[in-house]
């Protein structure tokens, strides 16, 4: 006499599989570096840096120009006085961040080998 039938095993497997899928889905994160551009906290554009080859120009807000090119992203132009965002240079590494305070615009490369950078 079989204690558990095939059908039972299938049922148990389905329940476990569904749970595992749910967890994987809820924890899913892309490993490839993504540059997330936010304006005042709202995500306006996400750029997959690995797939960026040719020059791509993004204007998240009037007066600010961001350029993504060859796996890197940078502030190209900004109408502010200090140009600190442009001075931040090109971002490509996990955790890299550049911010334009006057325009409330930020670029963050997601996924990081550090939890935060103190400055």
Partner 1 sequence: MKKAVTAAAVVLAAVLAALLIYDGVINNEATADFFAMNTYASVKIKGADSEECAALAEEITQNLDTDTLSRTAENSAVSLLNKNGGGALGEKMQGYVSALLDVCEKSGGAFDFTLGALSDLWNFGGTPSIPDKAALADALLHSGYEKLTLSENTLDYTDKAAVIDFGAAGKGIALDEIREAFAEKRVKEAVVSVGGSVLLMGEKQFTVGIRNPSGNAGSYIAKLHIPAGCVSTSGSYEQQFEENGEKYHHILNPETGYPASSGLLSVTIISDSGILSDALSTACFVLGHEKGAVLAKEYGCTAIFITENNEVFVENGSKDIIEITDGAYTLI
Report in angstroms how near the CB of residue 44 gets to partner 1 at its nearest: 12
CA distance 109 to 96: 5
Does residue 54 touch partner 1 according to CB under 8 A? Answer: no
In this chain, which stretch among 6-14, 52-60, 61-69 interacts with partner 1, using CB under 8 A?
6-14
What is the CB-side half-sphere exposure of residue 2 using CA atoms within 13 A? 6
111 C-beta neighbours (distance < 10 Å), count: 13
What is the CB-side half-sphere exposure of residue 66 using CA atoms within 13 A? 30
The answer to whether residues 113 and 94 touch, using CB atoms and an 8 Å cutoff, is yes
Does residue 116 touch partner 1 according to CB under 8 A? Answer: yes
Of positions 6, 54, 62, 87, contacts partner 1 by CB under 8 A: 87
Contacts to partner 1 by CB under 8 A: 1-5, 8, 11-12, 15-16, 18-20, 22-23, 26-27, 38, 40-41, 81, 84, 87-89, 91, 93, 95-99, 101, 104, 106, 108, 113-119
């Amino acid at each position: 006499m079989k204690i558990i039938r095939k059908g039972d095993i299938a049922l148990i497997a389905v329940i476990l599989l569904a749970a595992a899928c749910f967890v994987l889905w809820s924890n899913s994160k892309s490993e490839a570096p993504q540059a997330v551009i936010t304006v005042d906290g709202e995500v306006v554009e996400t750029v997959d840096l690995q797939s960026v080859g040719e020059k791509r120009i993004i204007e998240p807000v009037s007066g600010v120009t961001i350029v993504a090119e060859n796996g890197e992203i940078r502030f190209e132009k900004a109408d502010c006085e200090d140009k600190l965002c442009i001075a931040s240079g090109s971002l490509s590494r996990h955790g890299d961040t550049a911010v334009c305070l006057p325009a409330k615009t930020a670029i963050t490369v997601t996924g990081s080998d550090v939890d935060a950078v103190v400055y």
